[in-house]
């Protein structure tokens, strides 16, 4: 599975003569020696496809917090925990300082030059 997550942010800055648009791409990568079991925290929330409706918790990578969701009882993925404490223990306390963030900037000025 691809455990790379990215977000797009927009940065504008004004120079003396022109306005330059620079999109910033943030890429979050787990370390190379990361425990594969820890990657479950990077999987998106998945409700499953059955109708058991159990209240569980998942790790939301965008905000860096554990949130509740209703799990259908089958299917889904590994990013589900029986309590908020279990989720935080695995995905917040267990991963503290273990994410590499790369900022990639690219863009051009109004003349199409870099």
Same domain, 81 and 110: no
Residues 28-40 pLDDT 10s:
555 555 566 568 9
Same domain, 94 and 104: no
Same domain, 63 and 104: no
Same domain, 77 and 43: yes
Same domain, 103 and 88: no
> Sheet containing 5-14: which strands, arranged edge to edge?
5-14, 19-29, 100-105
- Structurally, the chain folds into a number of domains equal to 2
Same domain, 6 and 42: no
Rg (CA), the chain: 19
Taken in order 5, 99, 67, 58, the sign of the CA dihedral is positive
What contacts 17, CB < 8 A, 6 or more positions away? none
Give the pLDDT confidence score for residue 39 in this predicted structure.
Answer: 84
Same domain, 20 and 70: no
Return the higher-pLDDT residue of 97 and 21.
21
Q: Which residues form the domain of 61?
A: 34-98
Same domain, 21 and 68: no
Residues 37-93 pLDDT 10s:
568 999 999 999 999 999 999 999 999 999 999 999 999 999 999 999 999 999 988
Give the pLDDT confidence score for residue 59 in this predicted structure.
Answer: 95
pTM higher than 0.75: no
Number of CB atoms found within 10 A of residue 28's CB: 15
């Amino acid at each position: 599975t691809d455990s790379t997550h990215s977000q797009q942010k927009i940065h504008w800055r004004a120079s003396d003569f022109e306005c330059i648009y620079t999109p910033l791409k943030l890429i979050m990568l787990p370390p190379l020696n990361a425990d594969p079991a820890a990657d479950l925290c990077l999987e998106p929330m998945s409700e499953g496809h059955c109708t058991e409706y159990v209240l569980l918790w998942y790790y939301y990578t965008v905000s860096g917090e554990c949130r509740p969701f209703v799990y259908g009882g089958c299917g889904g993925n590994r990013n589900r925990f029986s309590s908020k404490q279990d989720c935080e223990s695995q995905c917040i306390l267990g991963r503290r300082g273990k994410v590499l963030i790369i900022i990639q900037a690219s863009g051009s000025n109004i003349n199409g030059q870099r």
